Amino acid sequence: MEKFLFKKGYYSIYEIKTKGKVKYMVDNGKTLFVARFNKWITNPYRDKKTFTTLKKAQEYVSKKLMISKQKKKKKLDKLPKSLYLVLLKEEKSGNLFVKVGITSKKYIMRRFSKKYGYEGYTLEKILRRINTPRAERLEESIKLTLKKKRSVKSYRPLLENFGGYTECYNIDSLDSIVQVFDSATKND
């Protein structure tokens, strides 16, 4: 008898009882959803293994997830990045705020779509966008400078899962933010 125990990452862990013996199976799924084509396909990379103890099964899954995370990080590090300054509107409150950030997406509009967790927010205007290999360092530099300025107030979006909420600022500080952004990026 197969019984689902829990999910860890994209792996499911099951308990299998047969003739008084207990085994544990890990499975990363029979199918995959391909968003590009909006359909489910058979998982060509299916990883299904059985272990004698739950601890061994969990260790295996942890190792696989760590390897996957490292591969993803290497791929993301190679992608060209853009530094941006955008004006966003919170639909629920009607508040406008400024966000500084980086993205590897070709189109910033996609970066702020519902698919990436920005439901309830509208991209009003792209104020600045600079393609540079130094995007991450420049972003950190800009954030540090803005944090030191007393005239620049942070803004906390209403949604808890808003990605990059530490890079959001009140619209009242727009002139100071643009000035800091421009001076940090004038050589790029």
pLDDT tens digit sequence for 1-38: 889 999 998 899 999 998 889 999 999 988 888 888 88
The answer, yes or no, to whether residue 152 has pLDDT greater than 90, is: no
Strand pairing partners for 27?
Answer: 12, 48
- Cβ atoms of 168 and 105 within 8 Å: the answer is no
Residues in CB range of 83: below 8 A, 6 or more apart: 100, 101, 102, 128, 129, 130, 132, 135, 138, 139, 185
**pLDDT tens by residue, 75-111:** 877 878 888 999 988 888 888 999 998 887 777 777 7
Span 61-76, average pLDDT: 91
What pLDDT is stored for residue 22 in this prediction? 93
pLDDT given for residue 120 in this prediction: 80
Q: At what angle do helices 135-148 and 174-185 cross, to 10 degrees?
A: 140
Q: In Å, what is the CA distance from 163 to each residue of 9, 108, 156?
A: 19, 14, 11
Average pLDDT over residues 45-74: 93
